[in-house]
Amino acid sequence: MSVADAPLVVGVDSSTQSTKALVVDSSSGEVVASGQAPHTVSGGAGRESDPEQWWQALADALAQCGDFARRAAAVSVAGQQHGLVTLGADGRPVRPALLWNDVRPAARTADLVQRLGGPKAWADRIGSVPAPAFTVGKWAWLREHEPTAAAATAAVRLPHDYLTERLTGQGTTDRSDASGTGWWAASIERYDEEILALADLDPVLLPSVVGPGEVAGTVRELPDLPFSKGTLVGPGMGDNAAAALGLGLRPGTPVLSLGTSGTVYAVSEQLVPDPSGTVAGFADARGDWLPLACTLNCTLAVDRIAALLGRDREAVESGGSAVLLPFLDGERTPNLPGASGLLHGLRHETTAGQLLQAAYDGAVFALLRALGLVLGQDERTVDGSASPLLLIGGGARGTAWQQTVRRLSGRPVQVPRAQELVALGAAAQAAGLLTGEDAAAVARRWGTSDGPVLEPTERDDAAWERIEGVLSDAVPLFDGSGSPGGTS
């Protein structure tokens, strides 16, 4: 079948920094058109974005796809997880969305954790111990700090729900994104009424959860978007679940994603809650689970340090004893929302390139330290060696990121040639709606994870132990210290 014959599908990735849209040939997986438009995120104490800007960015990204978007038969939207979108009775945002990396709700989240009976009670119930990223703490923060906005809220949505609803007119979400709210009970796959009561959130404000393989609705009359009325709309999903779909991921294969957030995850057939809170027990977008650890400081933090040093992001140098914990935004893994960046081990002979390398090391260390917990019993070996770590996200294109992951993991690293795996996962979901196939099988058919495998190198144990030592000594310094904007 040629591009002209095969149905086209659209996959959207509405992530922290931008919206990316791909028009994909559902038969071959060929990307026939693409577009991208940036978002603005507030600085200072909080991290907020205007949901209306995501819609405009979606329109702009689709406009770059020419006439292909109009010809699409189905579309799915993936989005950054956890963000609190509050809509008024008129369906418009009451205020900007509070994003996943806004640590202001730290104190309210800790309070909710205690009120339900502690971390284990949450892990048993929702599969995760909520971090300040989770929507439940954001809602508690809003109620405390902006009661008028909370009272004016007629609907609570996640970023991908907001966009899907603007396409269809129906308030829907999916299990993967619902599992990052804190009010969706993984054990029973339903909203948890006791937790909703604890958070003072009326369940009628929430979207319905559309199951994997189901249709969320169809595109309504939309003058500002180039979709045809009646185009099928999939349930969508959180961006990490989308990348897992986009890779056609099978249990036991770990993924390291280097974007605004750093994430490390794998698909698992079992939900194994982690009461330590390091690993979130998210649902995936099929019927399995997605144990995942997430850091707040990844590509943006390292790029910021490169800028401070006046160096290109690739201008790293090896050697030296510097340790840099790049916790510029506070940190989530480890859970230190009040942390800030810390530099240790500086000597007269330390070079700027070594300092930049230390920033990469600190960012990658935090993710790799969680890898064993993420994989748990699912760790698989290939011919006696660890299976390759799939490296994705914007940072995966960088040599310094690739080499740092190799050096600190000691594992083979595979870099898929396909770059927009979140949008591809959304497109695979949309294609599955047309063919009835499992979306991960669609992505495997498309060969999306194909790419070079970088051979393992010996793990740099000395650097690992140095970072681990500094982190453990620094925890008392960070614990209880105020975040840049205060976390009360």
Ligand X SMILES: Nc1ncnc2c1ncn2[C@@H]1O[C@H](COP(=O)(O)OP(=O)(O)O)[C@@H](O)[C@H]1O
Ligand Y SMILES: O=C(CO)[C@@H](O)[C@H](O)COP(=O)(O)O
Binding-site positions for substrate: 81-82
The answer to whether 464 touches 365, Cβ cutoff 8 Å, is yes
The piece of 111-119, 260-268, 410-418, 477-485 that touches ligand Y (CB under 6 A) is 260-268
Q: In the complex, what is the shortest distance from the CB of residue 266 to ligand Y, in angstroms, rounded to a whole number?
A: 14
The piece of 187-195, 224-232, 237-245, 357-365 that touches ligand Y (CB under 6 A) is 237-245
The answer to whether 410 touches 457, Cβ cutoff 8 Å, is yes
The answer to whether 283 touches 290, Cβ cutoff 8 Å, is yes
Q: Determine if 179 is a binding residue for ligand Y (CB under 6 A).
A: no
- 55: tokens are 């819609």
Q: Determine if 249 is a binding residue for ligand X (CB under 6 A).
A: no
Q: Determine if 394 is a binding residue for ligand X (CB under 6 A).
A: yes
Of the candidate residues 7, 17, 343, 350, the single one contacting ligand X (CB under 6 A): 17
Cα 84 from Cα 132, distance rounded (Å): 12
Residues 436-455 that bind ligand Y (CB under 6 A): none
Q: What is the DSSP letter of 475?
A: H
**Residue 100's binding partner out of ligand Y, ligand X, none, with CB under 5 to 8 Å set by partner kind:** ligand Y
The binding site comprises: 81-82
Site size with ligand Y, rule: CB under 6 A:
16
- 290: tokens are 């997605």
User: Could you give the angle at which helices 461-478 and 352-368 cross, rounded to 10 degrees?
Assistant: 80
* C-beta closer to ligand X: residue 396 or 440: 396
- 387: tokens are 């299976």
Residues 124-153 that bind ligand Y (CB under 6 A): 133
Cα 417 from Cα 147, distance rounded (Å): 47
Helix extents (H) in 173-289:
175-178, 193-198, 239-246
* C-beta closer to ligand Y: residue 87 or 242: 242
Q: Is 239 a catalytic residue?
A: yes
**Residue 397's binding partner out of ligand X, ligand Y, none, with CB under 5 to 8 Å set by partner kind:** ligand X
Cα 455 from Cα 451, distance rounded (Å): 13
Cα 463 from Cα 461, distance rounded (Å): 6
Q: CA triplet 279, 280, 283: central angle to 5 degrees?
A: 135
Q: From the candidates 239, 274, 329, 438, which is the catalytic residue?
A: 239
Sign for the pseudo-dihedral over CA of 191, 192, 198, 204? positive
Site size with ligand X, rule: CB under 6 A:
16
- Give residue number: closest CB to ligand X: 394
* C-beta closer to ligand Y: residue 141 or 464: 141
Cα 110 from Cα 336, distance rounded (Å): 12
Q: Determine if 259 is a binding residue for ligand Y (CB under 6 A).
A: yes
Catalytic positions, written as ranges: 239
Which residues contact ligand X (rule: CB under 6 A)? 15-18, 259-260, 299-300, 303, 313, 393-395, 397-398, 401
Which residues contact ligand Y (rule: CB under 6 A)? 15-16, 80-82, 100, 133, 180, 238-240, 259-261, 263, 294
